Structure 1
Amino acid sequence: MSTTTNTRTPPTWTTTNRVGLVLTLILGLGNGASAFFPTPDGEVGPPFEVLVADTVLAVVVVVGVVVAWMRGSRLAARIAAGCAMLIAISAMPAFFVEVPPVVKALAGAITLVTVLACGLMLAPAKRKA
């Protein structure tokens, strides 16, 4: 009976990956307090349920990025990227309702930064020899 040992080493993060991880972490931290600042009555904004969902997803993003960075886990990076994209998708209704142009511009900018950060974070990493 032969036993095989998994000698494959975890991937090392390139500078590109690290930039993506840091950007994703910043986005996650920025969205982490969403539920604590609900939309005031009478103003247009996301429903409280969406803010709570964004906060929960942001916590997953932060934990995923930290685990990915510390352990070299590509799976944790993928989970963080998926949750970050869900947060960005939750901002999409801003383009279809009457909100100030600044809000639309901010939602667009955050969405673009999220896509960029996830792309950088998930770029192929170098493997140790």
Structure 2
Amino acid sequence: MNTTSKRQKVGLVLAGIYNATSIPSVMFPESGGEVGPPMGILVIGSVLGVVGLVAVIVAWRTGSRAALRVAAGATIIITLTALPAFFVDVSAGVKLLVGVSVLFTITAVVLMFSPARRPMPVLD
């Protein structure tokens, strides 16, 4: 039985979008004189993007708590791999993008694990 709440579905959609946008990262390695993440981080991001997206789909269709946890874990780890951007010499635009991704991840995870609202009891 699928008991996924509306809030959880919104969180799953956000996590699905985030994970899907992480999949092609391995196809855009650093070029020329640009400083970017190492190829290993790009591969990890792509693999976790696929794992997270599959987990989001499974959680959406079945309501599986395990799939929900895997989706959240993949999303969090992808975001953690971007955090070093705050500590190296990169453009302000990259740091802004990483900050937005952190907020996006927090929002998605909070919504994915938010409980369904219970109806208020009617007092006579």
Same fold (TM over 0.5): yes
* TM-score normalised by length of structure 1: 0.87
Whole-angstrom distance in 2 between the partners of 1:40 and 1:109: 24
Q: Does 1:69 align with 2:38?
A: no
* TM-score normalised by length of structure 2: 0.90
Whole-angstrom distance in 2 between the partners of 1:119 and 1:41: 39
Matches within 5 A, 1:27-106: 27-106=18-97
* Ranges of 4+ aligned residues in structure 1 off by more than 6 Å: none
Aligned position for 1:122: 113
Amino acid aligned to 1:33: P
Aligned position for 1:19: 10
Identical-residue share of aligned pairs (%): 47
Whole-angstrom distance in 2 between the partners of 1:120 and 1:11: 17
Whole-angstrom distance in 2 between the partners of 1:80 and 1:53: 15
Whole-angstrom distance in 2 between the partners of 1:58 and 1:41: 26
Q: Which runs of 5+ in 1 are unaligned?
A: 1-9
Amino acid aligned to 2:51: V
Query: What is the CA RMSD across the aligned residues, in angstroms?
Result: 1.4
Q: Which runs of 5+ in 2 are unaligned?
A: 119-124
Aligned residues: 118
Shift of 1:95: 0.1
Shift of 1:126: 6.7
